[in-house]
Chains A and B, each alone.
Chain A
């Protein structure tokens, strides 16, 4: 059996670790367009912040590939798949044949078509280690940095470069920071906290025109800058599958076994869309835990063990300047709410189940809420009033506690 994995990040590692549980000998080839040992992408902002190092941000140890008998081919971009001959054609003209193929190509930053963007010399995206290093190399004390996008990537970038005594301004079309994961009130708390840490915002605005070192907003505000960071979002890398007629939407469409619509080709991670069980909608959930679990699921099925991953939900744990945020699921239904101005908790529930939650500040034991969403736990089987106030096992029945803590089986 020969496994080929296109991509060398979280989903790929999940797949390798799963394949090796079942198949110790099959050949595994990993193709990466980057030139790095597997590293954790979300850590690039922590690298700039000085909270980690290139050595420590390796997602698996140096011996990972040899221990798992993987052939790692760096600096190789897969150009297309020859389905008939079961081969991946690479950019250098060579090819790699496969029995089972995993597409773990991730996503690419979306570069918005802003007039004058070509005149900007210092422009960067922020999703890879090379991006982070390139950005860092042009930052000087007092550099004026304009970040387009106040989402997860843009704000993590802002925090990452904040120690470098640069002046940071953030522009976003949305009226809220982190609009994909926060509601109005929690977003306001986070925004104030960021402003207290010297990040300025122009929300509900967009750049209409750029010159080499100046951005003009839709209300004609002019923002001079030295460095521009484009962080408006990412797009799943779907072309390898799309080009051969495989089913894609925004992301590659996979089933709960991480199979694409083409035989022997699987996909996992940020390049895919799958069912969010908190809303029953197909979504791109570009999150590291989901990438690992999809990779694992693909790897199990590729190596002949039937395995289902059908518990994906949107979920994020993120922090800025010491303020922690944990969110998960879908924000619909009835609301439980508490806030003391500093800590913020909102739970969303309907039809006897928890749909989603937002926690800012105190995030302890958040996983208890995540678990209620993932497992679709019927809320009438527990003390819902108690668990709203205090996430804990106390709210479950005595029998469930005995099972969870005492190893007693049903």
Chain B
């Protein structure tokens, strides 16, 4: 199963992954136009402290506590990818209570948001990986 992996050694803390993530879900073609003057709310987030930086996004866990805890059934795991049916989510935040990585977050439109490996976007592949200038985020098979 291919996953997004992060190597903090290479992370510059530049936050480009966050911009690429926010851009991907707009399904627009021009990043500047899509994000200009907007406060972004990406599904991947950089943690920074004393010179250490790394990106955190959904690990698509083998034991998905968010899915098991979801009170509506909006979160589900299919073909190794955890996705959310935003139409059914009522933002109770039980998934935020359950996720050990802090990788599910509130959004503005009444549903929570999380990384879905860009499968619902027009491009279809993880854009944080594409946008990382230093190879700190990769999408690959590591036999997990």
> Interface on A for B, CB 8 Å cutoff?
14, 40, 42-43, 46, 51-52, 56-60, 288-289, 292-293, 296, 315-319, 324, 326, 328, 363-368, 370-371, 374-375, 386, 391-394, 398, 401-402, 404-407
Contact = CB atoms under 8 A, between A and B. Distances in A.
Nearest to B138: A406
A368 B100 contact: yes
Given A42-B71, A56-B87, A405 B6 contact: yes
B97 interface: yes
Nearest to A14: B68
Contacts of B28: none
B3 interface: yes
Interface stretch (B18-26, B32-40, B88-96): B88-96
23 contacts: A40-B71, A42-B92, A56-B72, A57-B88, A58-B73, A288-B69, A288-B94, A289-B65, A317-B93, A317-B96, A318-B92, A364-B96, A365-B96, A365-B102, A367-B96, A367-B104, A368-B102, A374-B100, A394-B52, A401-B54, A406-B7, A407-B3, A407-B5
Interface residues of B, number: 40
A292 B73 contact: no
A316 B56 CA distance: 24
A291 to B, nearest CB: 10
B103 to A, nearest CB: 8
B93 A316 contact: no
Contact of B49 (A391, A394, A405): A394
Contacts of A391: 102
Interface string B42-70: 00000111001010100100000110110
Contact of B97 (A52, A326, A404): A326
Contacts of A60: 73
Given A401-B8, A405-B56, A392 B47 contact: yes
Contacts of A375: 100
A402 B136 CA distance: 12
Contact of A386 (B8, B49, B71): B49
Nearest to B66: A367
B45 to A, nearest CB: 9
A57 B92 contact: no
Interface of B: 3, 5-8, 47-49, 52, 54, 56, 59, 65-66, 68-69, 71-73, 87-88, 90-102, 104-106, 110, 142, 144
A58 B71 CA distance: 10
Contact of B105 (A292, A364, A371): A364
Contacts of B54: 393, 401, 405
Nearest to A316: B97
Given A367-B102, A371-B100, 18 more contacts: A42-B71, A52-B88, A56-B88, A288-B69, A288-B94, A289-B68, A289-B69, A293-B68, A316-B97, A328-B97, A364-B102, A366-B102, A367-B96, A370-B97, A402-B8, A404-B101, A405-B6, A407-B142
Contacts of A404: 59, 101
A138 B88 CA distance: 27
